[in-house]
Structure 1
Amino acid sequence: MRIRPTVESDLDRVLSCTVTAPVSWADPDRYRRFLADGSYRPAHTWIAEDADGRLLARAVWWTFPDGDRPLALDCVWVDDGVADPTALAAELLTAAHAAFPGGGLPEFHIFLPPAWREDAAVRAAVGWRREVAARAGLTGELERLRYEWTPGGPVPEPTGRLVFTEAGDEEFTEVFRRVAVDSLDDDTRRGLLRLDAQAQAEETLADYLRMPGDRAWWRLARTPGGELAGFAIPSANNGGPVVGYLGVLPELRGRGLVDDLLGEITRSHAARGAVRIGADTDAGNGPMAAAFERAGYRTFGVRLVLSGPAGAS
């Protein structure tokens, strides 16, 4: 058996995988679309093949189009004829992890329906993939609630409690650093285990600058008296407009200002004619989940994130 990254001439074989599990996302249409914009790449798609060249397994990772290393595993597939699919898939992921540049382990994102635990087929698909991920070093687990706003949902009027202004990258880096203190967001907390506060803020800035959303949409938030209160970042991903990032400074939390920040993002996208605004938050971040619900965002799914040890670089 041979395990390797693909090359361009493997495309037809990569697209030939027939995934019947209810949790896979790298179907042929998606693969071609993401391959065209650089989110998928031959070097980030790994396969296992037997001595005769028959495809036994495939794993597909996603990255930013201008990124230099994969960031998230989107799909793992194993042929039905493989005697031990869990072992083969774990071997495939482990080999790829060892070859990827930059150290660390890309996360595995599994997209699920809201009540996924009530569906036996989905539970089975998740259980198999959890075991594969754990064997490959992805032992951390987080559920993120997925929300969406659609036309007909409320577009809140400004309350006057905050004033929104444009600002430069240095100002946003500073507010990212300050908002990270005592954050309930798992990704922020994990970032602070790897990096100091300034480096974590700079990495956050770089990540949001890579997203397809327009940098001109970003806003700092101040009180009418001029006190910095937080920020609101409407953004976009491959699927369209999203609630990119928002945060309230620690000293002003508990006053309901999260509603004003989310309202600003919703107004910004709605004014440009958005037909859908996507968003998500950690299942354990009760205040943010409640803010989405107050703002008329509907829960439509769960993102299960399997990750390497906290603090790994």
Structure 2
Amino acid sequence: MTSEDNRFESDPDDALPEDPGLPDGWVVEAPDGADDATVARLTELLRGHERAGRGWAGSSAEAVLVEVSERGLATRENLVVRDPDGRVQAWGSVHDRAEGRMLLVHVVDRAIDERIADRCSDVLFAWAEAQARAVGAARGLAEQQIDTGAFADDERQHGWLEDAGFRRVRTWWQMSRSVEADEAELVPDPARWERRGVVFRRVERDGGPDSGGMPVEADLRAVHDVLEGAFTDHFNSAEETFQEFIHRLREDPGHRWDHWWIAEIVDGDGGVPEPAGALVGTVSESATGPDGSYVSYLGVLESARGRGVATGLLRTIIADAAARGRDRVGLEVDADSPTGADGLYTSMGWGTKYVTESWHKDVTVR
């Protein structure tokens, strides 16, 4: 995908009123993702937002580049608000995540005057609504959802969201599990192992597992198909094409092809393996200690549930993390999910580290 695929309005002046209501000398513009100083300031803003919302910062410049780099702009658009000294004090980013679903990053500096912060927030929301109408129109939709997140304890963000017409729709537990070195023996080999007719294996690579080649497309499509099928009835599920799926996951700074696993059911001797589960993992890098692993996606087809597929995939990523010298595995779970997935995670040693929320607003497309 390229920036030519972008469905957003790229000129901020065309997405905002002539007078957006900011104080004299304050300006809005699209940030330059190639400018190191701008990226550093956006990273500082995002980390301050995280510290205020959950007590600690975790984002890096790599996370910001996902939003503002040339590659990111294939499916995103960004806006910054600068004060009279040229310093970025607010940042918004919209992501054309899937048909009918647009993600919003909304960050305002915590140190500026409260009234000016309110105006910056209003500008970001007005711009996001204009972008929702643009992307919705490009996709031929009558209504476009804006999906944004907030930390459970961030009252300032909650107030802004409520005032802008957003509603709190879901709560998410951000869970973590420590990993011990001896847990490398949890499974015979994270690359491939079998239990009760289920084969757990990494996606195959062109030229073999150690070649460094690209994954076999058939395996990537199998992962995509399993996850699409597994999450059909889940909260806010939106169909995503194979190309959108691969592009988005490769943007993650922690993306590694050798963190993708497939679970296949093989019934009887000579049976054809049928993909039944998939796990997409990433690397959670740390500047102060060992890295961790993260479960970005874990899905099991309904027809295969009850056969230990999810447990086997989780044991696989734990063993893989231990073999790599990592000290933790993280994941996100829907606190309101009817599947009871949190019970499985708790039984396997995961505990909640912090809590986030999803807030939505539906925008009529004109």
State whether structure 2 residue 199 is matched by structure 1 residue 163: yes
TM value normalised by structure 1 = 0.69
Would the aligned equivalents of 1:3 and 1:92 in 2 still touch at CA under 8 Å? no
Corresponding residue of 2:211: none
Deviations 1:219-247 (A, max 9, x none): 22123433432222222356652112222
Corresponding residue of 1:75: 107
Higher mean alpha-carbon deviation, 9-18 vs 294-303, is at: 9-18
Taking the aligned partners of 2:302 and 2:220, their CA distance within structure 1 comes to 16
Structure possessing the higher radius of gyration over alpha carbons: 2
1:95: Cα distance to partner?
Answer: 2.2
State the Cα RMSD in Å: 4.3
Corresponding residue of 2:150: 110
1:61: Cα distance to partner?
Answer: 3.6
Would the aligned equivalents of 2:103 and 2:147 in 1 still touch at CA under 8 Å? yes
Taking the aligned partners of 1:177 and 1:99, their CA distance within structure 2 comes to 30
Distance 1:38 1:206, change over 3 A: closer
Corresponding residue of 1:248: 300
1:262: Cα distance to partner?
Answer: 1.4
Corresponding residue of 1:300: 353
Matches within 5 A, 1:273-312: 273-285=325-337, 286-309=339-362
1:98: Cα distance to partner?
Answer: 3.2
Corresponding residue of 2:78: 44
TM value normalised by structure 2 = 0.61
Identity %: 16
Would the aligned equivalents of 2:167 and 2:360 in 1 still touch at CA under 8 Å? yes
Aligned residue identity for 2:323: A
Aligned residue identity for 1:299: T
State whether structure 2 residue 254 is matched by structure 1 residue 220: no
Distance 1:26 1:62, change over 3 A: farther
Structure 2 unpaired stretches of 5+: 1-21, 71-76, 96-101, 137-143, 189-193, 205-215, 268-272, 287-291
Higher mean alpha-carbon deviation, 217-226 vs 277-286, is at: 217-226
Would the aligned equivalents of 2:31 and 2:68 in 1 still touch at CA under 8 Å? no
1:22: Cα distance to partner?
Answer: 2.4
Corresponding residue of 1:119: none
Corresponding residue of 2:11: none
Taking the aligned partners of 1:311 and 1:266, their CA distance within structure 2 comes to 44
Would the aligned equivalents of 1:57 and 1:79 in 2 still touch at CA under 8 Å? no
From 138, 153, 177, give the equivalent of 1:149: 177
Q: Paired residues, what number?
A: 283
From 312, 319, 323, give the equivalent of 1:271: 323
Taking the aligned partners of 1:293 and 1:126, their CA distance within structure 2 comes to 30
Aligned residue identity for 2:251: R
1:94: Cα distance to partner?
Answer: 1.8
Q: Secondary structure at the match of 1:217?
A: strand
* Structure 1 or 2: more strand by fraction: 2
Would the aligned equivalents of 1:176 and 1:204 in 2 still touch at CA under 8 Å? yes
Aligned residue identity for 1:58: A
Corresponding residue of 1:66: none
Taking the aligned partners of 1:223 and 1:186, their CA distance within structure 2 comes to 27
Corresponding residue of 1:172: 220
Would the aligned equivalents of 2:90 and 2:108 in 1 still touch at CA under 8 Å? yes
Corresponding residue of 2:127: 95
Distance 1:265 1:89, change over 3 A: same
Taking the aligned partners of 2:56 and 2:351, their CA distance within structure 1 comes to 25
Structure 1 unpaired stretches of 5+: 64-69, 117-121
1:302: Cα distance to partner?
Answer: 1.3
Corresponding residue of 1:22: 52
